[in-house]
């Protein structure tokens, strides 16, 4: 029991050490800087140099805010965060801009993924976007093309690429179609400068198929 009391006393004195060690000059210093006693104790405990304290206050960063390390939550470096605060951005402004930038990067990445999927899986995203006519047409061409390729290759026991000549334009059509739709969604005003009038969904394909003699 005595050991517990002694340990408790030591911990209490340890916690009060910065306060007990504070001189009148220290008290005058933190009051002059507009700091609270808690903030001054945080500075003393972290052994932060006064030059750093002055820099933070000049940037408009409170000591409590600094020790909460807000830049880590945003995945930023401390120097970059302080530089932006120094430039006049508030903590809320920085957080909002970083959230928007992250959301934009995610949207761009997702769009690129849809284009790649649209290229390798013709018709898939047309179905997902409630465009069944184009979806059936593109997927139908892909299935028939692969079927023709597989049949001719197996029948001739040799590589017969005729079916692939139909599949390749179909894949390109599907990928380009999804790309145009994503671009229009991300930048609605862009369609005004594309020269697409009337029916912008109309895409012409020209197939050149070699004839075997």
pLDDT tens per residue, range 156-209: 888 988 888 999 999 999 999 999 998 888 777 655 545 444 444 444 444 444
How many Å apart are CA 36 and CA 62, to the nearest integer? Answer: 10
Tokens of 169: 């334009």
Contact 129, 154 (CB under 8 A): no
pLDDT in tens, 80-99: 999 999 999 999 999 999 99
Model confidence at 116: pLDDT above 70: yes
Read off the DSSP letter of residue 213.
-
Q: Given this model, what pLDDT does residue 134 score? A: 93
Burial class (CB in 10 A: 0-12, 13-18, 19+), 169: middle
Residue 135 in contact with residue 126, Cβ under 8 Å? Answer: yes
Q: Are the C-beta atoms of residues 207 and 166 closer than 8 Å to each other?
A: yes
Quick check: 211 pLDDT over 70?
no
Mention every residue, 6+ apart, whose C-beta is less than 8 A from residue 79: none
Using an 8 Å Cβ cutoff, are 70 and 90 in contact?
no
- Find the helix packing angle between 78-86 and 91-120, rounded to 10°: 120
pLDDT for 192 equals 55
Residue 153 has pLDDT above 80, yes or no: yes
How far is residue 181 from each of residues 56, 66, 94, 118, 200, measured CA to CA in Å?
A: 47, 44, 31, 12, 10
* Cβ(22)–Cβ(38) below 8 Å: no
Average pLDDT over residues 40-58: 88
Lowest model confidence (mean pLDDT) among 22-36, 84-98, 145-159: 22-36
């Amino acid at each position: 029991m005595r050991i517990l009391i002694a340990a408790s006393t030591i911990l209490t004195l340890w916690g009060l050490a910065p306060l007990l060690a504070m001189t009148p000059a220290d008290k005058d210093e933190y009051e002059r800087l507009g700091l609270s006693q808690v903030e001054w104790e945080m500075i003393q405990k972290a052994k932060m140099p006064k030059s750093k304290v002055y820099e933070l206050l000049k940037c408009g960063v409170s000591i409590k805010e600094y020790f909460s390390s807000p830049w880590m939550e945003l995945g930023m470096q401390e120097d970059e965060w302080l530089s932006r605060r120094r430039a006049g951005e508030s903590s809320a402004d920085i957080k909002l801009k970083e959230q928007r930038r992250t959301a934009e990067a995610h949207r761009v990445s997702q769009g690129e993924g849809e284009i790649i999927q649209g290229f390798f899986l013709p018709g898939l995203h047309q179905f997902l976007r409630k465009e069944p006519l184009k979806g059936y047409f593109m997927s139908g061409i892909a299935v028939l093309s692969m079927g023709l390729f597989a049949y001719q290759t197996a029948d001739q026991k040799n590589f017969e690429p005729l079916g692939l000549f139909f599949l390749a334009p179909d894949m390109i059509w599907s990928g380009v179609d999804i790309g145009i739709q994503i671009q229009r969604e991300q930048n609605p005003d862009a369609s005004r400068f594309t020269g697409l009038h009337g029916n912008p969904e109309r895409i012409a394909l020209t197939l050149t198929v070699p004839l075997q003699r």
